[in-house]
Amino acid sequence: MPITQLLSGAAELSANELMRWDNDYQTYLAPLAGRSLGITLLPMHLTVHLYFSDSRIDISIPETLPQNEIEVAADICDCHLTIHISALSEMRNANQLTRLIKEDKLDIEGDLAVAQNVSALANNLDIDLTEMLTHKLGDVPAHTLMGGANSIKNYVAYLKQHVEVTVGEALIEEKRLVASPLALAHFSDEVTDTRYWCDRLTARIQRLEQAQQAQQQDVK
Amino acid sequence: MSDNNATSETQPASVAGSKTHFGFTQVDTEQKESLVADVFHSVAAKYDIMNDVMSMGIHRIWKRYTIDCSGARKGQQILDLAGGTGDLTAKFSRIVGPTGSVTLSDINPSMLEVGKDKLRDMGLVDNIKYVEANAEALPFPDNHFDIVTMAFGLRNVTHKENALASIYRVLKPGGRLLVLEFSKPTSSALEKIYDTYSFHLLPKMGKLIADDEDSYRYLAESIRMHPDQDTLEQMMQTAGFEGTSYTNLTGGIVALHRGFKY
Ligand SMILES: C[S@@+](CC[C@H](N)C(=O)[O-])C[C@H]1O[C@@H](n2cnc3c(N)ncnc32)[C@H](O)[C@@H]1O
């Protein structure tokens, strides 16, 4: 059984199921109806095509032919994004896009409005997970599950905060040990003075040595 | 498998009094079309549910793979031949969008009617045409379609070589044909399990769910009589297709054949 198609089928089912839990999903889909977005993930070169209609998303993972036909042409979709996997998490922040393009982590071909509308769809969807699970599993399991998920979320948040505080304190302690700019300047002046006195002393010693050599020659 | 089916694959057209297979039964060549029609009239209403039950939903994955290999894009003209209840048509319709068009064609009006209802219920109306036609003599102009797909249809056609020639004619140069069809399992162990399933379990499931044991016995027999992977590829080449290849799916229980018209 082709595993890729099993996965894309599961992804398509979940995406459409999830989306329907926001009553306004069709409003967000409307500007995308009839449009398509291609995404190629680097470095795996995995390409996914998303086709939008007024009530659903179809997901396709195009297959290349055995004889290596250039099948996954970027122009199949209205807009095609090529993204490095490390940049995925930064994609939500529109301010980062220019930087990602400059760093060759993102390439956009075609109609940018499609990518913007997909981003708006992802950001606008407001899905009440508790309500969804209640409908699927019943009241008690849904609340237990959400309670568990919230505890994990809170614990992760606590851990994150704890790590931040520890790192912050360590930095402050470290800072106390580090010399201030004024002390550094003073130290640098003292080094300069010491070098000056050393140079003078060396010159005097040289002169004394020369005088001593001259005296010895006179005695001979 | 390929040695079982010499009767119709080698006959270019009906010759009066000639015989062909209908499952394991030998019938008059002219009779096969109406016998196949009876099968699909009979199963049409329960066709989708039986498909899911019989294949445990795997037919959806095979069809998805076909779509993923089609290279379909916005604005194209696609023919879903022997398209029945329109599973492929539904997906293609959303891919080609309002500027493209999908023709759902089938010889059987009952299957087409079920397909039409289903697609309308899914809100797909604008870019789909319904055409009742025999794959052996397609009523479309030459060089008309970018892609032709035929899923689980070819084995029911009396003269497969006529159907392939007809498809070749209606494809545009550069267009491609995708034939998704039951084929020959690649391992003998799998073949044994599969035979037991199709000849013993399948007709019983047909009786239980669709109250139609005979149609599902025909289904199993027709799968056995269908040309194996290499024979079908050869037939496509004979019809003029180039760059032909096939991919075995689920251990060769099903194969997807591809060919281009250049
Ligand atoms: C098993 S169904 C497949 C339906 C659909 N393609 C699918 O995959 O679900 C086979 C279809 O082939 C159609 N068929 C049989 N002989 C045909 C012919 N000569 N020309 C066109 N369609 C034919 C039948 O009417 C039936 O709808």
Write the secondary structure of chain A as one string of H (helix), E (strand) and C (coil).
CCHHHHHHHHHHHHHHHHHCCCCCHHHHHHHHCCCEEEEEEECCCEEEEEEECCCCEEEECCCCCCCCCCCCCHHHCCEEEEEEHHHHHHCCCHHHHHHHHHCCCEEEEECHHHHHHHHHHHHHCCCCHHHHHHHHHCHHHHHHHHHHHHHHHHHHHHHHHHHHHHHHHHHHHHHHHCCCHHHHHHHHHHHHHHHHHHHHHHHHHHHHHHHHHHHHHHHC
Query: In terms of domains, do A94 and A173 share one?
Result: no
* B91 SS3 class: helix
The residues near B37 (Cβ < 8 Å, ≥ 6 apart) are B107, B108
Rounded CA gap, B35 and B22, in Å? 8
Rounded CA gap, A156 and A15, in Å? 26
Query: In terms of domains, do A39 and A140 share one?
Result: no
A193 domain-assigned: no
Rounded CA gap, A4 and B122, in Å? 25
Work out the average pLDDT over A110-116. 90
Burial A95-109 (b: 16+ CB within 10 A, else e): ebbeebeeeebbebe
**pLDDT of B239:** 97
Tokens of B84: 């029945």
Report ipTM for this prediction.
0.82
- Tell me what percent of the residues of chain A surpass a pLDDT of 70: 75
A203 domain-assigned: no
Strand partners, B18: none
Instruction: Kindly report the protein residue whose alpha carbon is nearest to atom 26 of ligand 1.
Output: B84
**pLDDT of B153:** 95
B137 domain-assigned: yes
The last residue of one of the domains, among A86, A107, A127, is A127
Which residues of B make CB contacts under 8 Å with A?
Answer: 58, 60-61, 64-65, 67-69, 71, 73-74, 91, 94-95, 97-98, 123, 243, 245, 247, 249-250, 258
Query: In terms of domains, do A69 and A160 share one?
Result: no
Number of other CB atoms surrounding residue B90 within 10 Å:
21
- Tell me what percent of the residues of chain A surpass a pLDDT of 90: 20
Closest alpha carbon to B206 in B67, B22, B39, B6: B39
A56 domain-assigned: yes
Helix (H) or strand (E) holding B131: strand B128-132
Of B68, B74, B98, the CB nearest to A5: B68
B96 Cα to the center of ligand 1, angstroms: 22
Work out the average pLDDT over A105-113. 90
Helix (H) or strand (E) holding B26: strand B25-28
Give the atom of ligand 1 at the shortest distance from the alpha carbon of B135: 20
A197 domain-assigned: no
Query: In terms of domains, do A142 and A163 share one?
Result: yes
Which one has a higher pLDDT value, A114 or B36?
A114
**pLDDT of A15:** 92
CA distances from B203 to A184, B48, B85, B218 (A): 92, 16, 21, 9
Work out the average pLDDT over B108-122. 95
Query: In terms of domains, do A46 and A66 share one?
Result: yes
Query: In terms of domains, do A62 and A166 share one?
Result: no
**pLDDT of B4:** 40
**pLDDT of A205:** 83
**pLDDT of A178:** 64
Q: Does A10 touch chain B (CB under 8 A)?
A: no
Indicate if the pLDDT at residue A105 is higher than 60.
yes
Work out the average pLDDT over B99-123. 95
**CB-based burial label for A163 (10 Å; 0-12, 13-18, 19+):** exposed
Helix, strand, coil share (%) of chain B residues, nearest 5: 50, 20, 30
Query: In terms of domains, do A20 and A62 share one?
Result: yes
Q: Is the pTM of this model over 0.80?
A: no
Indicate if the pLDDT at residue B12 is higher than 50.
no
Of B61, B95, B245, the CB nearest to A65: B245
Q: How many structural domains compose chain A?
A: 2
**pLDDT of B93:** 96
| φ, ψ of residue B143 in degrees (nearest 5) | 50, 50
Per-residue pLDDT of B138-186, as tens digits, reads 999 999 999 999 999 999 999 999 999 999 999 999 999 999 999 999 9
CA distance A104 to chain B (A): 28
How many CB contacts within 8 angstroms connect chain A with chain B?
58
CA distance A72 to chain B (A): 8
**pLDDT of A70:** 46
Which one has a higher pLDDT value, A158 or B182?
B182
For residue A154, the enclosing domain spans: 132-177
Residue B229 identity (one-letter amino acid): Q
A67 Cα to the center of ligand 1, angstroms: 29
Indicate if the pLDDT at residue B49 is higher than 90.
no
Query: In terms of domains, do A35 and A116 share one?
Result: yes
Rounded CA gap, B4 and B1, in Å? 5
> A-chain residues within 8 Å CB-CB of B73?
76
DSSP letter at B105? E
Helix (H) or strand (E) holding B222: helix B213-225
Query: In terms of domains, do A153 and A70 share one?
Result: no
Per-residue pLDDT of B190-244, as tens digits, reads 998 988 888 888 888 888 887 888 888 888 888 888 999 999 999 999 999 999 9
CATH code, domain carrying B74: 3.40.50.150
Give me the residue label for tokens 């070589």.
B161
B50 domain-assigned: yes
The last residue of one of the domains, among A127, A154, A188, is A127
- B68–A62: do the CB atoms touch at under 8 Å? yes
A209 domain-assigned: no
> B-chain residues within 8 Å CB-CB of A65?
69, 243, 245, 258
> B-chain residues within 8 Å CB-CB of A76?
71, 73-74
CA distances from A57 to A35, B92, B235 (A): 10, 13, 37
Rounded CA gap, A145 and A137, in Å? 10
The residues near B106 (Cβ < 8 Å, ≥ 6 apart) are B81, B82, B83, B84, B112, B115, B132, B133, B153
A75 domain-assigned: yes
A219 domain-assigned: no
The residues near A37 (Cβ < 8 Å, ≥ 6 apart) are A49, A50, A52, A77, A78, A79, A80, A81, A114, A115, A118
For residue B157, the enclosing domain spans: 21-28+37-186+218-260
Q: How many structural domains compose chain B?
A: 1
Query: In terms of domains, do A7 and A66 share one?
Result: yes
Number of other CB atoms surrounding residue A64 within 10 Å:
15
Which one has a higher pLDDT value, B168 or A218?
B168
Probe target for ligand 1 pocket from B108, B161, B170, with the most ligand atoms within 8 Å of CB: B108
B242 domain-assigned: yes
Residue B104 has, within 13 A of its CA and on its CB side, a CA count of 30
**pLDDT of B162:** 96
> A-chain residues within 8 Å CB-CB of B67?
60
Work out the average pLDDT over A133-148. 69
Indicate if the pLDDT at residue A181 is higher than 80.
no
Instruction: Kindly report the protein residue whose alpha carbon is nearest to atom 1 of ligand 1.
Output: B152
Tokens of A166: 């520890």
Nearest residue of chain A to residue B124 (CA atoms): A53
Work out the average pLDDT over A112-131. 82
Query: In terms of domains, do A14 and A113 share one?
Result: yes
- B95–A60: do the CB atoms touch at under 8 Å? yes
Query: In terms of domains, do A20 and A90 share one?
Result: yes
Work out the average pLDDT over A152-179. 67
CATH code, domain carrying A61: 3.30.1050.10
What average pLDDT is seen over chain A? 80
**pLDDT of A24:** 86
> A-chain residues within 8 Å CB-CB of B262?
none
Q: Which of A42-51, A82-91, B74-83, B169-178 has the lowest mean pLDDT?
A: A82-91
A149 domain-assigned: yes
Ligand 1 proximal residues by C-beta, below 6 Å: B 36, 40, 82-85, 87, 106-108, 111, 134-136, 151-153, 156-157
- B258–A34: do the CB atoms touch at under 8 Å? no
**pLDDT of B6:** 37
